Chains A and B, each alone.
Chain A
């Protein structure tokens, strides 16, 4: 739990929070609790299950703990439910938060185009709104009191909505960064992929330069959510901790985004240097931005690689001219001509993609040169 609490929100949202299993956690707590907590657990165990079950638990506790005996289904349920009654606010929050995270996991597409961002955002908000903590958690009646369940449900919904909005709003800023990647690196050998921090949605950004995209200004929507909404009076201290954590996570992403922009500028400069040095190769970057993780990969062809591609094209052309000349014009053997064409195509088929990209790059260079 400590590690969950101490980590930044982005890291938690990305993947780790979904790994949290309250049943497993409660089970571990039961065997590792301090005296005070264990007394509370035992008290509940006794009150809920009676003296017979309680005595059995006391007698077999060490055998369970040392794995000599495994508790049966009923005992496991009793262990977990009793421990759940002693959950702290932090633990209750993580439980509600994880359940909501898992609940909305399948409520939106995992791979989308940029133009689908607004629609996906609305789908996620809709899904968050339909979350019911009591129905989702099998141990909710032990973890939360009647009042708490409403409070935590609405609280995690607010946190999720706020953070969803923050990330989607930040995408607006990242659009400029995506454009910069395509215009500055400026090669057909460039491939990118982008995953949002939140929900790990893959957004295809390859056409960001050609079209104008505008992500909805989500905070201008009706029922806008602010930090103020997140400050619940009932769980005041905890709320402030969460609010400042979101704020800190957001500031951290801004630092990352600035550094990523610098990295892109530097890599453009180095690409030129590598090209000048007659070296070839690949460059792969994983960069954190305002709203997610951007992967950039591109290839630099050395002059020698370009020459080899050119020679293969020339040999292919000459061979085909000769084959066509002999089998079509002189002997009229179409079948053998097709066979010859098929065999010689192995000269260029494996590098067809490279030829295509290289041609595009040559046109680009000519255009830029003319400009």
Chain B
């Protein structure tokens, strides 16, 4: 009776081919284990998906916030770690007001060139 009740929960075609070769006792144990595992897997998949969604949401918020700081010309250097459903992700972002650096580089380059020119002429 119990066995039949267990069997009803499953699609017979989806059971592995060896199932019919098992003894009645083995079939019963297998179905019980399968039911437990299926429930565990559904729960696990749900938990993993939630984790991924939370990570995605956090990341979107962070990137949006950092872009806003960048457009306000503030210096940004941030390291964030997100736990996703299937692993983890580390985002290391840098940006902001580097305008002071570019003129310095140009001026330094020009000075080098000017020194070289004055020496050689």
Contacts and interface: CB of A to CB of B under 8 A. Distances in A.
Contact of A283 (B84, B90, B117): B90
Contact of A304 (B86, B91, B102): B102
A71 interface: no
Interface residues of B, number: 52
A287 B33 contact: no
Nearest to A322: B116
B41 A259 contact: no
A231 B71 CA distance: 64
B22 interface: yes
Contact of A282 (B34, B41, B92): B92
Contacts, number: 150
A308 B85 CA distance: 38
A286 B87 contact: yes
Interface string A2-36: 00000000000000000000000000000000000
B85 to A, nearest CB: 4
Interface string B77-121: 000000011111111111100100110011001001100110010
Contacts of A311: 102, 105-106, 109
A255 B45 contact: yes
B30 A302 contact: no
A319 B70 contact: no
A134 B29 CA distance: 31
Given A257-B86, A266-B56, A279-B93, A240 B120 contact: no
B98 A304 contact: yes
28 contacts: A226-B18, A228-B21, A231-B22, A236-B25, A236-B26, A241-B33, A243-B30, A251-B41, A252-B41, A252-B44, A259-B48, A259-B86, A273-B67, A274-B93, A277-B66, A279-B63, A279-B93, A280-B95, A284-B90, A285-B90, A288-B87, A308-B105, A311-B102, A312-B105, A315-B109, A315-B112, A319-B112, A326-B120
Interface of B: 16-18, 21-23, 25-26, 29-30, 33-34, 37, 40-41, 44-45, 48-49, 52, 56, 59-60, 63, 66-67, 70-71, 76, 84-95, 98, 101-102, 105-106, 109, 112-113, 116-117, 120
Interface of A: 226-228, 231, 236-237, 240-241, 243-244, 247-248, 251-252, 255-257, 259-260, 262-263, 266-267, 270, 273-274, 276-288, 293, 302, 304, 307-308, 311-312, 314-315, 318-319, 322-323, 325-326, 330
